[in-house]
Amino acid sequence: MELRSIQMTIAVSFTVVSVCIMCFLVLTLYGQFSRRIEDQYVENSAQLLNQTAINLEGHLRNMRWISDAMYYSVIKDKDLAVQSMDDEMNLLYEANKDNLVSIACYTNDGSLTAAAPIATVKADVDVTTHRWFQDAVGQLENFHFSTPHVQNLFDDPSYRYYWVVSLSRTVELNHNGETSLGVLLVDMNYSSIERILKKANEDASAEYVYLMDQDGEIIYHPKQDQIYAGISSENNLAALSYEDETVQESFEGEKRLVTVKTVSYTGWKLVSVVPMEVYSMGMESTRYLVIILVILALLATVLLNQLVSARIAKPLKKLNASVEEWEAGNLHPDIYVGGSTEVMHLGNTLRSTVEQIQQLMQDIVVEQEEKRKSELDALQSQINPHFLYNTLDSIVWMITGEKYEEAVFMVTQLASLFRVSLSQGKTVIRIEDELRHAQNYMNIQKIRYKNVFQADFDIEPGILGYCTVKLILQPLLENAIYYGMEYMDGEGKIRVNGYRKGDDIFLEVQDNGPGIPQEEASRLLTEENRERKRGSGVGLINVHSRIQLRFGPQYGLQIESCPDEGTTVTIHIPAIPYTEENQRQLEEGKRK
């Protein structure tokens, strides 16, 4: 994986930055949203409590009004010694019986004065022992609200029982002008209070509202029966110590927000409980939505970053591929030019650089070729007069000695040799012509050296039509004659072999001369400034270089020599058929 590629670097950098920014934003916004929701819950709880308190206070005010009406409009106006309050009491009861269980008036010793609805008083019931009576007695003008209890006053043969909240107060009873104290009891139906609080608990969430008295005793709780049965419990005693405020508390391992509101007239406390898990449950869908949005945004970011980085990196990659192709040895790479302005500029610059280098290399090749050519021309111009002088001298002696046929042969060979040497100025000629030139040369030399050596040519006819560099055999034959045959005294043998092997052609010049050590033979092809003792001065290295210049570095000469056994010099060239096109390309150095 190209972890350090430019595309990867851009993609990863952009992605990391995007993710960090996104996470920061999401966390910040989510935190603010959570706080807002929590505030909303607190506000809703407070509103709910206020509304419930208003409803409850309204109900209690109504009960107080009933009590006031009974006391100030009925009891105070009646002389109980001669008048009954039953009618007014019944009227009041009938008007409010949805919320009332009973209205009753007792004397201070617990005797019933009047009651509505009319019912049989339970035997053996002593109201003075009842809490509502004890709270009220002797405290004029004060109202007392009891906690819910089962009414224990009247006999109901239908076996029914009533949960009530008792509102009791001390009243003055008039008997023949004498005033005595008594207790007026208004038993409110508990179900009225229950109804108000049930309404506050209608929401199906875990949030709930309960009511307790000033001593912390529960008046209403949505799980009241469960609390009474010991199945559930409530932190009501702790809530008793709270002012009218919102408090965070922990109860039975559960964190919750508790808001308290005191109800007027009674000192009762309404308590709203919101378990903290309600927030998280309320936030659940929001949380999922946030996660979905974040993932979608991340997906989009990753893909977009991928596209952007690919778009930026693609031209650079193509340019890099061009450079790699160039590095791999392709001297004519197709340099990519495209992409952004900067990359296009780089491509153009690189392409121009490559073209300049190509031009420079071509110039160097041409220059080298020219140099070789001029060297060769210079050498040839040096050897030709010397060779020509010796040959002409031999011809003069032949004519003088009346050996006219030999002289004619000599002249003919010389003419042929020069014709091949000229070759219309070509450097690359057929192997056939090169061999003819070599044979002409050997025929002349054999006559000059009076046949002290034999020269044999064993050439595969098939190779005659292939290309070779001009005048590469003659210097080898010259070397073989000068260094191998001079002292052979008629036993010298020079053999020229020509054959094809695969796609290559080999021309060997073997002599049975004295030979040289192999180390020295190796140096013949490497030491440029080696001093030549005799001959034309065209060294083996010159021939070797010319071959390589035309056909490439894998071609050239190989020398094998062993002292006292002779020397074999092998010309290794490619098998290129001699055509005008091939000849022209080789001449121009365009084919290797």
Partner 1 sequence: MTGKRLWIGLIVTAMVAILVYVSYGMINVGKKETYHSVAVVLGDSSHDRWNAFKEGLEQGAEENHIHLNVVFTGVFQNQEEECAAIRRELENGAEGIIVQMTAEESPELFEKTVGETPTVLIENDMGLEDEYTTVAANQSEVGVAVAQSVLSGESGDIQGLRVGVLAGNQEMHSQRVCLESFLDAMEGSEAKIVWIRSEEEWDRDISAGLLAGDAEADVVVALDNNATECAIAFLQDNSDVSWRIYGEGRSEKAIYYLDKGSVRALVVPGGFYMGYKSAELMAQKLKLKTSGEKKGRAETHVDFLTVTRENLYDKNVEKILYPIAG
Binding site for partner 1 (CB under 8 A): 1-2, 5, 7-8, 122, 124, 148-150, 152, 155-156, 159-161, 163, 190, 194, 223-226, 228-231, 284-285, 288-289, 291-292, 295-296, 298-299, 302-303, 306
Min separation Cβ 524 and partner 1, Å: 53
Min separation Cβ 225 and partner 1, Å: 5
Pairing of strands 492-501, 453-459: parallel
387 contacts 379 by C-beta, under 8 angstroms: no
Neighbours of 592 (CB within 10 A): 14
Min separation Cβ 284 and partner 1, Å: 5
Side chain identity, residue 424: Q
Min separation Cβ 34 and partner 1, Å: 16
Min separation Cβ 303 and partner 1, Å: 7
In the complex with partner 1, which residue's Cβ is closer, 3 or 82? 3
338 contacts 344 by C-beta, under 8 angstroms: yes
State whether residue 531 is helix, strand or coil: coil
Min separation Cβ 228 and partner 1, Å: 4
Distance (Å, rounded) from C-alpha 431 to C-alpha 466? 6
Give the DSSP letter of residue 462: G
In the complex with partner 1, which residue's Cβ is closer, 7 or 102? 7
In the complex with partner 1, which residue's Cβ is closer, 8 or 112? 8
Min separation Cβ 183 and partner 1, Å: 18
Indicate left, alpha or beta for 130 from its phi (over 0: left) and psi (-120 to 50: alpha): beta
In the complex with partner 1, which residue's Cβ is closer, 19 or 181? 19
**Would you say how long the chain is, in residues?**
592
Min separation Cβ 206 and partner 1, Å: 11
CB-side neighbour CA atoms (13 Å) of 290? 17
323 contacts 350 by C-beta, under 8 angstroms: yes
Dihedral sign for Cα atoms in the order 108, 114, 115, 116? negative
- Rg over alpha carbons for the chain, rounded to the nearest Å, is 65
Record the tokens describing residue 556, joined without a space: 């050239």
Min separation Cβ 214 and partner 1, Å: 16
In the complex with partner 1, which residue's Cβ is closer, 73 or 128? 128
Residue (of 310, 308, 318) closest to 346 by Cα position: 318
Neighbours of 215 (CB within 10 A): 10
Side chain identity, residue 563: P
Distance (Å, rounded) from C-alpha 332 to C-alpha 338? 18
Distance (Å, rounded) from C-alpha 413 to C-alpha 442? 9
Distance (Å, rounded) from C-alpha 417 to C-alpha 274? 121
Min separation Cβ 223 and partner 1, Å: 8
Min separation Cβ 585 and partner 1, Å: 40
**Residue with the two structure tokens 């193509």:** 318
Residue 104's contacts (CB-CB under 8 Å, 6 or more residues apart) are: 112, 114, 115, 116, 153, 184, 185, 187
In 218-272, alpha helices (H): 224-228, 236-240
Min separation Cβ 268 and partner 1, Å: 17
Give the DSSP letter of residue 482: I
In the complex with partner 1, which residue's Cβ is closer, 25 or 289? 289
In the complex with partner 1, which residue's Cβ is closer, 27 or 299? 299
| Residue 157: burial class (beta carbons within 10 Å; 0-12, 13-18, 19+) | exposed
In the complex with partner 1, which residue's Cβ is closer, 259 or 301? 301
In the complex with partner 1, which residue's Cβ is closer, 317 or 426? 317
In the complex with partner 1, which residue's Cβ is closer, 81 or 291? 291
| 3-state SS string for 420-457 | HHHHHHCCEEEHHHHHHHHHHHHHHHHHHCCCCEEEEE
In the complex with partner 1, which residue's Cβ is closer, 143 or 190? 190
In the complex with partner 1, which residue's Cβ is closer, 130 or 591? 130
In the complex with partner 1, which residue's Cβ is closer, 301 or 474? 301
In the complex with partner 1, which residue's Cβ is closer, 309 or 468? 309
Residue (of 505, 448, 435, 444) closest to 476 by Cα position: 435
Min separation Cβ 35 and partner 1, Å: 21
Residue 325's contacts (CB-CB under 8 Å, 6 or more residues apart) are: 333, 334
Residue (of 246, 242, 192, 238) closest to 219 by Cα position: 192
Side chain identity, residue 268: W
Min separation Cβ 435 and partner 1, Å: 58
